[in-house]
Chain A
Amino acid sequence: MTNVPEVDEDRLRRGLRALTTMDPPALDNARVAGTGWVGSFVVGIATVVLLAGVLTTTLVLRNRDTGGAAPPATASSPKTPAPSFSPQPTPSVMPTPTPSPMPTATPSPTPLATSAVAYLPPIGPQCLASQLEVRVGDGFSNLSNAALYLIFTDRGPARCTLRGTPIVQLLDSRGRTLTSPPLQDTPSGYIPALPNNGVGLLPLQSEGVAPGPSPEGGIRGQASLPLQFYADGCNAAIAAIRIRVGGGTFTIPLTFSGSAPGCQTTTIFVNPFQPAEYAR
């Protein structure tokens, strides 16, 4: 018998025994019963066929959109966790959209960061930079990681859709592109999947009016772009973030500050657009 007088073993026994009298959840019969080896085999084959189809479709669409000169997919690039930095977003920063001469999805000749997420074919009108407004939303952090949300609002006259992951660059105080920290596109498993694989935005023209929920489950008229990183790092070199979306470019002043030495190198994960319900 263990003899540690400082710990009240009776209390431990009582507490843990009470834990074993909790009502268990009802078992999911379909899951518990299983499908048998025949069922598993069929499900396995169907999964392989489905994945092959999705992969083929993605490659075909990518080739079509890039005129056959698609860069190699980098979705499986290694994601090395790096100590990251705590953000201090400038509150209510209004970006200056820089209209592109060709507001299309044509890749920029400048060496912008590559997008690891496959380009999603448009369904319905895509948002144009001229109708979007970007601001820095809330961030949050816990012990191990943190996120910062950039909020996109549709200020145009018509509804539009934001989809996929935009091209993102980090800039230093002189406007030069930073190669460090690296940016990685990463689709998040927790982001709600929408029927059209994007976030549908309704025009939000009345300032001060509570947007209310949209059919997609987000905030009407707003989408967010989550940037994810580890909480306890810093990177004083970053002065702004540049985002290419809707045929235009937004440059948003953004401060990541910190005092610990040697914390310059880290990775920022860029997620696809998602409903803005998580970032007020």
Chain B
Amino acid sequence: MGLIKTPPPGKDDVEEAVARYGAEMYGLAVAITGNVHDAEDAYQSAWSNALGHWEQLRDISKRRSWLASTVARSAMQVRRRRAFSDRWHVTLSEAPDLSTVMRWDPGLGSAIAHLSARQRAVITLHFGHGFTLDEVAAILECCGGTVRSHLARALATLRVRLGDERA
């Protein structure tokens, strides 16, 4: 009797992961970057990074949070690049933003668009993806207190924005 070896992750493994988590990760990228074009960039480069380190992930059960971490990092990088580039260049065309993308609730999309990228990441991972705050902290590579602080500020901003909407 030989030992059963775990097969190395192959193409099917990757394709399965893309099919399983693609939409979820793209949604996270949209939420963090705040527009579709940047989200597509972040999504592509996140998968590229993920595949570069695919074999380093030992625990398959953590794949979802690992991918979320990769996407969040990539999206925030794109967001920073965008902020830097906007200082120097006039934006000539606007990509569809959150209020347009979230056509099922444009008011909420507009309110979320006023949050910082990190705040958006926290509320999306917590409320949208269902991660606990400690898991969110691990995904965003920060401490739990910071995540709770981001969440509190995000909710305070949303309270004001959505309150204005009601008024």
A10 to B25: give the CA distance in the assembly, Å: 21
> Interface-forming stretch among B2-10, B16-24, B72-80, B138-146?
B16-24
CB-CB under 8 A from B104, the residues of chain A are 15, 18
Of the candidates B18, B26, B105, the one whose C-beta lies within 8 Å of that of A22 is: B26
Of the candidates B23, B89, B151, B158, the one whose C-beta lies within 8 Å of that of A21 is: B23
Q: Which of A1-46 contact B (CB under 8 A)?
A: 2, 4, 6-9, 11-25, 27-28, 31-34
Most chain A CB within a 10 A radius of its CB, from B44, B109, B129 = B44
- Is B31 interfacial (CB 8 A cutoff)? yes
A2 close to B155 (CB less than 8 A): yes
B30 close to A19 (CB less than 8 A): yes
Closest to A27 in B: B47
CB-CB under 8 A from A28, the residues of chain B are 44
Shortest Cβ distance from A48 into chain B, in angstroms?
A: 22
- Is A146 interfacial (CB 8 A cutoff)? yes
Shortest Cβ distance from A243 into chain B, in angstroms?
A: 20
Most chain A CB within a 10 A radius of its CB, from B43, B44, B101, B128 = B128
A20 close to B24 (CB less than 8 A): yes
Could you mark each residue 177-216 of chain A with 1 if its beta carbon is under 8 Å from any beta carbon of chain B, else 0? 0000000001011100000000000000000000000000
CB-CB under 8 A from B31, the residues of chain A are 16, 19
CB-CB under 8 A from B112, the residues of chain A are 15
B123 close to A19 (CB less than 8 A): no
Measured CB to CB, the residues of B under 8 A from A are 18, 22-28, 30-31, 40, 43-45, 47-48, 51-52, 85-92, 101-102, 104-105, 108-109, 112, 123-124, 127-129, 151-152, 155-156, 158-159, 162-163
CB-CB under 8 A from A19, the residues of chain B are 27, 30-31, 101-102, 124, 128
User: What is the size, in residues, of chain A's interface with B at 8 Å between Cβ atoms?
Assistant: 43
B27 close to A32 (CB less than 8 A): no
Contact (A144, B86) CB under 8 Å given A18-B104, A32-B44: yes
Closest to B157 in A: A7
CB-CB under 8 A from A146, the residues of chain B are 90
B90 close to A147 (CB less than 8 A): yes
Contact (A9, B127) CB under 8 Å given A2-B155, A81-B87: yes
Closest to A231 in B: B90
CB-CB under 8 A from B44, the residues of chain A are 25, 27-28, 31-32
Most chain B CB within a 10 A radius of its CB, from A11, A14, A19 = A19
CB-CB under 8 A from A13, the residues of chain B are 127-128
B105 close to A20 (CB less than 8 A): no
Q: Pick the 6 closest A-B CB pairs, nearest first.
A: A16-B128, A20-B27, A24-B26, A19-B27, A24-B22, A15-B108
CB-CB under 8 A from A188, the residues of chain B are 89
A122 to B120: give the CA distance in the assembly, Å: 50
A28 to B112: give the CA distance in the assembly, Å: 29
Shortest Cβ distance from B123 into chain A, in angstroms?
A: 7
Query: What are 27 A-B contacts defined by CB distance under 8 Å?
Result: A6-B163, A7-B162, A9-B127, A12-B108, A12-B127, A15-B109, A16-B124, A17-B127, A17-B128, A19-B30, A19-B128, A20-B26, A20-B27, A21-B27, A22-B23, A22-B26, A23-B26, A24-B23, A24-B25, A24-B43, A27-B44, A28-B44, A32-B44, A32-B47, A33-B51, A145-B87, A145-B90
